[in-house]
Every structure is written in structure tokens, then in C-alpha cells.
Structure 1
Amino acid sequence: MEAALTTQHADNPAGTGEPGALVTVEHTGGVAILRLDDPKRRNALSPAMSSALAGAVDTALAAGAGAMVLTASPPVFCSGGSLDDLISPVVPLRDSYAGFQRLADAPVPTIAAVAGAAIGAGVNLPLACDVVLATPSASFDPRFLDVGIHPGGGHLWRLAGRVGEQGAAALVLCGDRLTGEEAAAAGLAWRCVDDDDLLETALVLARRAAGRPRDLVIRTKSTLRAGRAVTSPAQAAELELAAQEWSVTRPGYTEHLIELRDRLRSRGRG
């Protein structure tokens, strides 16, 4: 990881706070690292944590981050909703998902780096990200029904999109759980990597995304999302054509191609 990091703290929706805040934001090479930092409470997704995460996403975007990496202080990635908060709610259920939803709505690429357990609503956090990396020590355990609550926040839809309806049924209805290696094999995670390599692997992907034209990356991610509602190859082609036609009219497009062509020719490849 690069030596120079700029660190901010987020413990409220505005994304400001003092050391010891629930979520920290580090900036490196155009990438924001969002770290859940409440290990004593197993990074529980309390209303305060959810609010802090929403603020951290806003902080990262305001700073111009081209990509975000979500990680957590060990040993637990996120233990999900607090039982105390479920017994005596301090905010409506809808509001308890503010952080997860802000992450899911981020216009730039997001990468979850999961080590340790993601439990219950904590599984929503990696599901909200575009790419999930896990370690062998990671586990994904929805466990909503074990505490007598229906999954929320679009959990079933996002989970089925990664592992299929059968996988979602096995995990949610039947109480199965996946290790990091099993998650990668099932499609819930993109790769399973060693614990020591997790953050750097995530940063390699994030830096590549952040190093590309921001407007083009944002439009491409938007098209990828919009494709979920497409029902035919013809619709998909039209959706992508509109974005592609936009991309070739962007300022600097022709100059970039000329520079690329000349560089390849100088290497004997053009």
C-alpha cells in the first residue's frame, strides 16, 4: 500500500468526527478506504454505524475518490444488527439501512475486502459493493430468520443475483453459511485471497478503476446497473449503444486515441 495516506473520520451523516469514530476514511491514489472501526462491538450495524458509513461514503465522494474499498477492523467484518436495537428500535427499519444504501448507490466502483464473519445485515455490506474479495477466514452467514426477522434492504434480491435462487434459499431459508473459499466458488465473492494480501489486492483493482476517466467509469457502472432490467439482447445493445455514442463525443476522446495509436506504433504494435 502507498506510504502516504490521508485519514478522515466519520461518525455522523456529515462525515466529520474525532479519532475513535465508527468509520475512518483514508485516501490513497484516488481511492478511498472506508474502514468499519468498532471492533469491541464486532462492527455491529447499529444506527450510529449505519449513519457513520453513509457519512463516510459522502466524504469519499466529496473528496473526488474514483473508487472505494470497504474493509473492517478485525476480528469480525460486521456482526449485523444489534439485538438491543432490534428489541428497542431507535430509528425505523428503513433508516437503519442508510449506510448500506448509500454504498449501494455510489456512482464509482466499490470493492468489499472481507476478512472474518459477515453476519445477518452485515452481509448486506459486501452485497452492496460491485466486487467482493474474501479471505479463507471470511464467512457469510445471513442468519436473519434465526433472530426472527425477515431479511431487509434488498438482501434476497442482491443475494440471488450473486448465488442464484437456490443459493439464496440455502443460505437464508436453510441456515447455510459460506466460507471465503466457498463464497468465491459460488459467485458471492470474486476471489478468495490470503489475509495478508486482501487489502493490497483490493487496492490494485480500485486504483485501476480510479485511474480511468471518471465520467466514463461512472457511465459504464450506470449502464451495468441498468442492464439488470433489460430482458432481451436487442434492449441490451440499444442501452449500450446510447452510452457508447456518448463516450465517443467526450472531450479529449480523439486525442486519447491518437496518443494511444502513436504509443503502440512506437513499440511496433500498431
Structure 2
Amino acid sequence: MLNGRIRELEHQLDNDRERHSQEVAMLERELIRLRDEMTQQLQEYQDLMDIKVSLDLEIAAYDKLLMGEEHRLNITPSNTATVQSFSQSLRSSTRATPSRRTPSGALKRKRTFVDESEDRSVSDYYVSASAKGNIEIKEIDPEGKFVKIFNKGNEEVAIGGWQLQRIVNESGPSNTYKFHRSVKIDANAYVTVWSVDSKASHEPPTNIVMKQQKWITGDNTKTILLNIDGETVANLDRIKRIVSTHVSSSRQSRRRSISAVDGNEQLYHQQGDPLQSAEKCAIM
């Protein structure tokens, strides 16, 4: 009787062991499936983070350029509400991005990239002008055909002996035109000084064609109007602005740099490593 009870309990124990082994195997398979799914999701998240960091760098660069243009043009906040709202929404979406945490005891997963690099650049020109009196430099031709000055006052101004000077790249080449002693500019009127090869008609004082020279051109030019005493009364700057992006990828990292250059001066530069800007992905 006792031996029969022992055999029954041993049989029951064997059944429990077998059932437990099956449950453990099933749980291990489920754990493997969850690990694979987590690995895939983390890889997708890492890809999105790489894109996000790259876009953040570009947004920061263009935002810097936009602020510079708003300051230069003296644009009021009411005129830029749409732009500011868009910029704020971008910043908000950046701040709202959840951070990744690495669980304790987690295994770090390395990502690999093929060796590659990419360079992109966008260039544009911006113009800034100022004047101390009523005579201002109103317009210049990018191809060097003419320089146009304007009298915004209500009285005629004698500009005989005044000089128009063009300088390329600060200390680069320059040329100068000196107005005839009899030249005057009427109130609310223009005087245009044309290059010799412009094919314009010489009709002083409103249209003056230089005899033996033409306006020099370049990426960065400064046009200055000097009075008879050699004092600067007006100027107009035309400066080339370049926004360049460089992306380089090695087998274990990806770096991106963005810079903005005004003329010969670097206005803005930022670089980042998307893989170092965010925490490393990990799986349990």
C-alpha cells in the first residue's frame, strides 16, 4: 500500500517536471520573440533619432540665418508671427521627443555603417544699405552694368566732384568714378552710372556712361558714395551667404556639420554626432 502511494507520487512529480519544462521552453521562445521585436524597434528608433539630430542641426542653422535677416531688415514680431510660430513648433517637437534609457544589465548593440560622405551647399546673396543724408545708393546690377543713386529729399543736390567707389572682397580690387563738377541730382530723382560695355545711352545727368571702365563684380562687393570732402555719405554691401552641410559616415559613427558663411566671415557653425547626441540603444 505504501509502495503504491510512493509510485503514484513519483509519477505525479515526473508529470509536473515535464509540464514545467514545457512552460519554461514556451517562455524562452516568447522571450526570444520579444527580444527580436525590441531589437527591431530600437533600430528603427535609432534611425529616426539620427534623422532628428540632423534636422535639428539644419533647423538651428537656418533659424540663425532667419534671425540675422529679421534683425538686418528690422522686421517687427507681428510681421513674422507665422515664421516664429513655425520655429516654436519645431523647437517644441524637439523638446517633446522622449529620451531613451538603458536598462541595468543591458547588452549594448553596435550599429555599422558603410564608409561614405556627402557635401551639400546652398548659396544666396543679401544686400544692406545705409545713408547719412538724402542721397542713397538705391540699386546695383549684380553683373556690373550700373550703379543707381537716388535723391530722396525735396531739394536739388549738387554732386559734382563726388565719387562712386566699388570694392571687391574688402581689400580686393576696386574702381572709382568721379562725377563731373556740373552734375546735379533733382529732388526725388535718380542718377544711373553705367559701365562702358552696358550699351546704355549717355544722357547726363540722369544716365551717365563711363568712358573707359566698367563696374567690377565679385562674391562680396561694397559700393561707396563719397562727397567732395572724401566723406562716406552712402554705401551698399552685397554679400554672398553660403549654408553648407557635410555628412560623413564611418563603420561605427556618423557625423554631420553645418556652417553658414557671410562673405569671408563664418557666421555659424555646428557639428554633431547623431550616435553620440542620443543615448546608445540597448536590449535586455
Q: Same fold (TM over 0.5)?
A: no
Name the one with the larger strand percent.
2
Calculate the TM-score normalised by the size of structure 2: 0.18
Give the number of the structure with larger relative contact order, counting CA–CA contacts within 8 Å between residues 6 or more apart. 2
Comparing both structures, which one devotes a greater share of its residues to helix? 1
Q: Which has the larger radius of gyration?
A: 2
